[in-house]
Amino acid sequence: MNHEWFVTLAEVENVSAAAERSHVTQPTLSRQLARLERDLGVLLFDRKGKRLHLNAAGQIYLRHVRRAVAEIETAKYELAELVNPVAGRVELGFLHSFGIWLVPTLIREFRGQTSQVAFGLAQGAAEDMLALVLSGDADLAIVSPRPMSIDVGWTPIMRQHLGLAVADTHPLARRDQVTINDVRDESFVSMETGFGMRRILEELCAAADFRPRITFESAELATVGGLVAAGLGVAVLPVEHDSQLPPGISMVTLGGSQNTREVGLIWKRETAMNPAAARFREFVTGWAASADRGSDHPDRAGR
């Protein structure tokens, strides 16, 4: 029996809505539920009038059904792969400046092995990329730092050193190294809430027991750089050799135990992944391991 209807009913907890989504009539869905509960010998929902609420038994059954549905979908993908092993499409999300070198490099080298795989690309803030993966609109996403959600898998790609961006005229520009505690009284220019570097800044400051005084924020790195160059604040950014920042900025090494950030690949757990996306995930894992990218590449970085 196809149990996708049960997953839908468990998610919406409404027979009419679930029937519409499952393209069956309401009486048909009600009979399917009654038959299932009779076969299992246990009620899966608590009834309050016409309202349903998934109970403890239902939650257990839902967990196993989701796994079973995922396995069936995986089998379908593998059969399609058997028929056409080189075709497919990968929906990939990533942070904006990973599009400068990381994403093009990975796609170029991957397509050197499987040239017929197509890619759909989406860029945005870390939280937006997480949302795309969880909704199923993206198969995979390259983000930093690691999301706190337990619903996504994670494989590391590389680490990047962090630095403090200051105007060339700032007194700290002459320093070889600073700690986050050295700038606790400074004004900060930051990416907006939802971006990975915003979360990293806040966590760095929290570890030093202070809240950063953010005077300007932006969704664009170039704007952050321009504001720093104008002397309107300092910013914590990944260090990169081929800088995309405007002139007038000095990058000072950030010392301390939390002076790097991890970049990695995420995907939704317990969800069938199409063969093209699965191959790309495997490729990225091998690519990272073969180059020993435990620390950032000497001349490449992203935000």
User: What's the pLDDT at 298?
Assistant: 36
Question: How far apart, in whole angstroms, are the C-alpha atoms of residue 226 and residue 241?
Answer: 18
Question: How far apart, in whole angstroms, are the C-alpha atoms of residue 239 and residue 165?
Answer: 9
- Residue 301, pLDDT > 50, answer no
Residue 222 pLDDT grade (very low, low, confident, very high; cuts 50, 70, 90): confident
What the chain holds in terms of domains, given with CATH numbers, is 4-83 (1.10.10.10), 89-158+262-290 (3.40.190.10), 160-260 (3.40.190.10)
Q: What is the pLDDT of residues 30-57, one digit of tens each?
A: 999 999 999 999 999 998 877 899 999 9
Q: What is the pLDDT of residues 49-82, one digit of tens each?
A: 778 999 999 988 988 888 787 777 767 766 766 6
- Residue 183, pLDDT > 90, answer yes
- Residue 84, pLDDT > 70, answer no
Q: What is the pTM of this model?
A: 0.68
Question: How far apart, in whole angstroms, are the C-alpha atoms of residue 275 and residue 76?
Answer: 10
Question: How far apart, in whole angstroms, are the C-alpha atoms of residue 190 and residue 280?
Answer: 32
Higher pLDDT among residues 263 and 256, named by residue:
263
